[in-house]
Structure 1
């Protein structure tokens, strides 16, 4: 009898431990088997990158403060990393998935990502970050929902729909790499995909028969949340749905002032949430369109993505011409004014992108200013390269964060110029030296003839201004110091500038890059290093136990795939805790 009481007491303690483990910050597990498959999204068989045999990959759906564990099995024939665009991995650039912080996952290896989506909500996506791999797929949506105790600033939608749009080539990423390595441009894409599928045959001359297209089924009189992401290579796309308004509600983790748009330009790497009300009479299906912007339309007629919005009471197929894009050929300010109209909903509840208080960004003193200037590609040492402020970034063999951990010297230089270099362009591993808890102003100046968009890992920044011409000190007089949108990817128009402000409260080494894959591949990126001078694990998590080693530290890497053990542990843990919860329900029987 005493043993029975002792055993029951022991089980109660174990069950309390298990319940506490799950009560705070639940964990969500995903297995990613990354491999090549053959698909024909534009009617031509080609090699694409699939996750668990699917293209695009699965949508990750979690809630604020959840822990996300993704075990990646690399079945490609080359190195692999995943990055989580716009998701601020607080205190842990070790999980960022770019070469400046992480060694790549070798072919036939496993590696497990483990990070927390702390103090965040919103619509994001993930993708493979190395060597143009995103041009072959491997991407998917990433949703972070509000906790139940935090209200959303609109009525709960009747459905949640992820839409991935992007320009697409029938050549795979390795062929595109060879083109860039040969000093050539990528040329006009072969089409635009919507959720990995080609265009609906709205025109028999432009679209061949037999192409699989995306259909989104809806019911009349409902409201749906559409999360739209431009996961493409380098083309700005105008997104619109025939006869429907798009009520903008959120962008990359920030609720926006709600405004209706008949169409919106979505630049490479950007994400938006729209509320779509199905208020039409369903006399037929409706076109969903993603078409190229800022291009010579006569050369791009075949490069248009078309899907179908189908009401459950639809009376027939969509027909007739596509809804037209903005008519602004001779008004280069139209798109910029549309971008300026996207403002932050400062009264909305929910996780803030910078919870330490920097949402009052207009009253914070700027501690540092950097002007990052983009020019057309140049020849450096006989190679065609892209630059930022005259520097073309060279990825080090040993990642920057790993080199710091092991106190290696000479891996990189903390000498990224605050103003563009005036001499010859250079190829260097040159990094911005950020000041912990500083407030940095970055001006992105685009002196090229092509649209560019830029992304900052680890942070949401405040978009305070944009205009045509060269930025000057006087340009600050035009800044929005109250409700500029906070986001992680912003466009810079040709011959124009965009100004952003960043509160450097997230310790680590964080990537700043062109989201246009060709510019990124050719060196248009850098990193910002943010160090807390006080040694503490409260501002940065320690190096993970499963960290990979490469470059000068290759000798530290164990020959076996250590991550497969981590993956097994994850699976065992899930079984263990499931069994525990079952046992807990049986305690009254034992007693």
Structure 2
């Protein structure tokens, strides 16, 4: 966070603050490393498709910064909500082991109020791969606010390919020129969103490959490469509802990883990437440099003549390129009336059984196909329907309506009546309804979920807290006999899977992560209209070993609002600024990683000393509300929480 310095400290304050600084840094380096981030989430003005509009940026960036860490690192992200409405950030594919408190969805967290800050702290435990984060409430993802998460292998784990020359993150997604609040209102009013205005690549519009379709003056993305080198492309579909076909003109794409799993390595000339999905490719720059090359993401399963504008185009620029890209774009698959190409392509993505990932043992050492299933849920959707006068989307005939009190918080305080634990394992008969039903998952059970898409458009479904195994998909209605087609050997483990219209997709998941976990439609309109459910996984044994305690900086809302006093999250990831900032508080309690009661008492005393220094005129108020800054000489970044 950038800070305007308004008053300097006299020398008398320095000894006390030096003691503060020395004790502050000790816990941050115990155990696995920490990575600290300070984010100011705010509206910025941009015109990605040539029309000025408000987008959501992070530290003035759109897309936001990439979180680049390594397996088992601790991630601390201090988020200041500078929007005019509440905010939550969720971490698509990060499993939050034992720690659903940090998941950033309405089933686990109260939103961060406008003008407040809150600190996420979680560990990327036993994970590698390519993921992304985004705002999870109020349809905000339609305005941006997303960015990448890279989890690298530890040095002791072999990667199943040579280290590439470079690592490139690409965000692709459909985009509307309308403000996200206008899109949200359209859904509230029972309307469809209609055709998107285009496709963005890294927050930018298309290269002007066609003077009729692409207006002049639009900024486009250029990827700079060197001939003969190999690059890793991490591609994420962060859009609203459009499946995209991704391709790089005249280049093969070697698929190596998806959402935390190494895949069997296969070359593709193009690949369908559905909403919420992430893939890693290795691309070798083996073409001549007579000109630049197109990078294309175009809408799938649509009338291409009507949707021709809904195409993202970036430029692949060799360092010795002799000219600009020109001519027609590389052709997409020609299967508007036949989805078999895309489904067969999806089936071809398989788990690399011999590769290690986060741990030394091969991925295939977990033999999911031999585990007995303990619970089966068939989750069926249908086209949106009017329920209680509002257009809603459903799973099994229930449209989820988030309660004011997050279910995980309600469990912690043993509140009754917040939700019911009776979500049906098969579709309800009769009229659809609005509800707050949760799935009662069995801890350490093995659940089979069949997503049955009876809608007319492609859907993607995601599960927080886990990687599940995609074991089958086909057209028609799923039946018990469909299990005979399951891949019980090398179905890929991932967190988001496509479900074709009029078809089903089956997944298997081991419920070994305690918490309350969101299962949702990744298509943002379907999710916003209620197409989600939560799986509650509780360890019946009374132990603190399978779930972390509620964080001291937890926000409270709904029936627990009375517990919320002034609460702050304390993080300085820019120690060179020489200041620590914290909010206006009442009763102070300081906590840090592995902090002892003695540590907390010392921190509380030192904080009150520094707080008094402010009232003696030795501190200053930053330009954000309720933020006090004091000088520190800490030699490294610090992070801990303070709560009333």
The question of a shared fold, defined as TM-score above 0.5 by the shorter chain, is answered with yes
Partner in structure 1 of residue 10 of structure 2: none
Give me the whole-angstrom Cα distance separating, in 1, the residues matched to 2:449 and 2:503: 14
Where 2:482 maps in the other structure, the secondary structure is helix
Corresponding residue for 1:563? Answer: 569
2:42 matches 1:35: yes
Corresponding residue of 2:596: none
Deviation of the 1:356 alpha carbon = 11
Matching residue of 1:499: 506
RMSD (Å), alpha carbons: 2.2
Q: Which residue of structure 2 lines up, in the alignment, with residue 578 of structure 1?
A: 636
For residues 110 and 329 of structure 2, the distance between their equivalents in structure 1, rounded to whole angstroms, comes to: 46
Deviations 1:20-77 (A, max 9, x none): 9636310000011000011000000001000001111000000000000000000000
| Equivalent in the alignment of 2:162 | 155
CA contact (8 A) 2:354 2:362 kept: no
Mapped pair 1:283 → 2:341 = no
Q: Which residue of 1 aligns with 2:464?
A: 457
| Residues 354, 460 of structure 1: 8 Å contact kept | no
Cα offset, 1:329, TM superposition: 2.8
Structure 1 residue aligned with 2:228: 221
Residue range with higher mean Cα deviation, 480-489 or 343-352: 343-352
Report the Cα distance in structure 2 between the residues aligned to 1:524 and 1:182, rounded to whole angstroms. Answer: 17
> Which residue among 294, 298, 310 is the counterpart of 2:301?
294
Partner of 1:435: 442
**C-alpha distance after superposition, 1:343-371 (max 9, x if no partner):** 00010012269999982100000000000
What's the counterpart of residue 552 of structure 1?
Answer: 559
- From 225, 241, 245, give the equivalent of 1:238: 245
Name the residue aligned to 1:267. Answer: 274
Matched with 2:453 is 446
1:577 deviation in Å? 5.5
Shift, 1:453, TM fit: 0.2
CA distance in 2: counterparts of 1:516 and 1:579, whole angstroms: 38
TM-score (norm 2): 0.85
Corresponding position: 1:425 with 2:453: no
Q: Which digits, 9 at most, give the CA deviation of each residue in 1:239-291, with x for residues without a partner?
A: 00000000000000000000000000000000000000000011100000000
What's the offset of the Cα at 1:330?
3.7
CA gap 1:129/1:579 in 2 versus in 1, 3 angstroms: closer
Q: Tell me if structure 1 keeps the 8 A contact 2:353–2:363.
A: no
Note if contact 2:291-2:321 (Cα within 8 Å) is conserved in structure 1: yes
TM (norm. structure 1) is: 0.93
Provide, for residues 427-453 of structure 1, a one-character-per-residue CA deviation record: whole Å limited to 9, x for no partner.
Answer: 001100000000000000000110000
Deviations 1:457-515 (A, max 9, x none): 00000000000000000000000000000000000000000000010000000000000
Q: Structure 1 residues 100, 358: closer, same or farther in 2, change over 3 A?
A: farther
| Residues 139, 547 of structure 1: alpha-carbon distance in 2 compared, 3 angstrom cutoff | same
Alignment pair present for 1:331 and 2:331 = no
What's the CA shift for 1:561? 3.9
CA contact (8 A) 1:368 1:441 kept: yes
Q: Distance in 2 between matches of 1:575 and 1:269?
A: 42
Q: Is 1:372 aligned to 2:379, yes or no?
A: yes
Q: CA deviation at 1:307?
A: 0.3
CA contact 1:353–1:486 (8 Å) conserved in 2: no
The answer as to 2:73 corresponding to 1:66 is yes
- Specify every segment of 5 or more residues in structure 1 that has no aligned partner in the other structure, as ranges: 1-13, 581-591
Structure 2 match to 1:484? 491
Name which of structure 1's ranges 123-132 and 16-25 shifts more when overlaid on structure 2: 16-25
How many residues align structurally? 566
Matched, 1:103 2:110: yes
CA 515–351 in structure 1, closer or farther in 2 if over 3 Å, else same:
same
Q: Taking structure 1 as reference, are residues 518 and 156 closer, same or farther at Cα in structure 2, changes over 3 Å only?
A: same
- State the secondary structure of the residue aligned to 2:305: helix
Match of 2:350 among 343, 346, 349: 343
**SS of residue matched to 1:216:** strand
- Of the three residues 155, 165, 169, the one matched with 2:172 is 165
Question: Which consecutive unaligned segments of at least 5 residues does structure 2 have?
Answer: 1-20, 573-579, 583-591, 593-628, 639-644
Q: CA offsets per residue over residues 97-148 of structure 1, 9 Å max, x none?
A: 0001000000000000000000000000000000110000000010000001
Distance 1:18 1:396, change over 3 A: closer
Alpha-carbon deviation of 1:328? Answer: 1.9
Structure 1 residues 496 and 24, CA gap change in structure 2 (3 angstroms): same
Does residue 400 (structure 1) correspond to residue 424 (structure 2)? The answer is: no
